[in-house]
Structure formats: structure tokens, C-alpha cells
Amino acid sequence: MSDLTRSASPKIIAVANQKGGVGKTTTTINLGAALAEKGERVLVVDLDPQGNASTGLGIEPEDREFTTYDLLLEDIALDRVILTTTTDNLNLVPANVDLSSADMELISNEKRSFLLHDVLRQPAMDAFKFDYILIDCPPSLNLLTVNAMVAAHSVLVPLQSEFFALEGLSQLMLTIRDVRQSANPDLRIEGVVLTMYDARNNLSQQVEADARANLSDLVFKTVIPRNVRVSEAPSYALPVLAYDTQSKGAAAYRMLADELVAKNTKLAA
């Protein structure tokens, strides 16, 4: 059971967008690495059955003895499921294909929407002294994503700089509103971050203009450029900050981490 008397620390952020291919997992990995580089203690929770965040952080499938599936549905101690990565200060709860059946198994559980909430707020979590928990959600608005939103303090939305980008956002916003009304009234939108941005492309500039006109201050000042190093890094099982620390992609994720921390420091003041 969760202890409702505990403080709000660590800050829990669900990284969500029901559209695939928008840079959701890439943002989770690299924002996590950038926060860790700043000295923040970070946990990435891989909630996607594809397990791409786990692979991108160097955890091979055979090394995932216990996963998010076990965290949600089995009584597994945190220290058995939280793994270290090659990045200092960055830990991971891995995922694998077992998670694809979790949706069906959760339906019959009366606390089905609160399982991740309770796991992340159990007293045993205090020993890890995490500052941030980033949840990499699946590319759909299913029960796993609802679990992430019920557990989170806020939702960070990666938005690809392409045609129709804003159209898919309305359903996500409705889901966030529903979660607010039914289970997590304090849930807020952390912000929208534009990904795969090409400054030479008129379409990217138009998407940015539309996003800022419609969403105003919800859109982060930082944009993530379309960068070959960002694309290559997962195949080497590294965040881009480790793969090519001087790249434009690495610089952008450092700026995003700075902006995120500054925003949350201001809110806490």
C-alpha cells in the first residue's frame, strides 16, 4: 500500500503520446541521461512492451529477469527489479513482451489503475533517493498508460514536427482530463516538446508556430532537432549524450533538462 503521508519527491513524469514514432522513448532515455548528468538521481520505468527504453539503455533481454510486469502484478522487491545502467545516476525498471498481456490481466483487478501509483510510492522507494522518475508509456491510450498518468505528477508530451502532429493531441488531452476527474486531480501537463525538428524545413517551422499559438507556454522553448547521432545512439545501446556528447542532439537534451529543472524549481519555490 502507498503511504499518503510521504512527500511528493521524487517528481514522477509520464512521457506519453499515443502516436508511435514521435520520439517518446528517445526523449525518455536522453532526458533521463541529461538529468543524471546534472547530478539528479533518475529512474526510468519502461512501460512499453516493446522494451525499447531498456534496449536503448544497454539492458539486454536476457538480463531482464524481473520487469515492469513483475512490478505491477507480482510481489517483487524493488531492489530486484531496479537495475543500474552504464550512465551514472540513471537506473531502470526494464520491460519485455510479457507486459503486452498485462492489460488483460489488469482488467479483473479492482485497483487496476492504481498499481503503478502504489508501487512508486511505497516506503521502500525512499532508500533509492530518486529525484525524478520518468515513465516511458506505450504508444496507445491503454490501461498501462492510464496507470502511468495516475502515478505521475505530470505528463510530458513529445510532438513530432510533422503534418497532423496537433490532431492526435486532442485525444491525449481528453485522456488526461478523464484521469484528472476520476483518479488524479493534481495531474498536470509538464509540457510539450517538439521533436525531429528541422529548422530548414518550412513544415517544421509551421508546426512550431501552430503549437505555440495553440498551446502557448505549455510548449518548451527547447526543440529537439532531427539529428543523425540521436538516431544512431540506440543501436549502440547508449543515450546520445554518451554516444556523441558534442552532437546537436546531446546539446538539445541538456537544454531540455535545464528547462525542466528550472521550471520545477520555480514551482517548488
Gyration radius (Cα) of the chain, Å: 17
- What is the residue extent of each domain of the chain? 11-268
Stronger pLDDT, 108 or 26, i.e. the higher one? 26
Stronger pLDDT, 268 or 101, i.e. the higher one? 101
- Residue 42's pLDDT band (boundaries 50, 70, 90)? very high
Stronger pLDDT, 7 or 187, i.e. the higher one? 187
Q: Which CATH superfamily is domain 11-268 in?
A: P-loop containing nucleotide triphosphate hydrolases (3.40.50.300)
Average pLDDT over residues 240-260: 97
Give just the sign of the alpha carbon dihedral 104, 51, 11, 255. Answer: negative
Mean predicted lDDT score pLDDT of the chain:
92
CB neighbours of 142 closer than 8 A, spacing ≥ 6? 103
Phi–psi pair at 43, nearest 5 degrees: -120, 125
Burial of 41 (0-12, 13-18, 19+ CB in 10 A): middle
For the chain, the farthest-separated pair of C-alpha atoms sits apart, in whole angstroms, at 52
Q: Are strands 90-93 and 42-46 parallel, antiparallel or unpaired?
A: parallel
- Residue 58's pLDDT band (boundaries 50, 70, 90)? very high
pLDDT at 109 over 90: no
Which grid coordinates are listed for 14? 509520464
Average pLDDT over residues 264-269: 77
Instruction: Answer whether 234's CB lies under 8 Å from 56's CB.
Output: yes
DSSP state of 163: T
Q: Are strands 42-46 and 188-195 parallel, antiparallel or unpaired?
A: unpaired
Which grid coordinates are listed for 42? 533518475
Residue 269: the pLDDT is 65
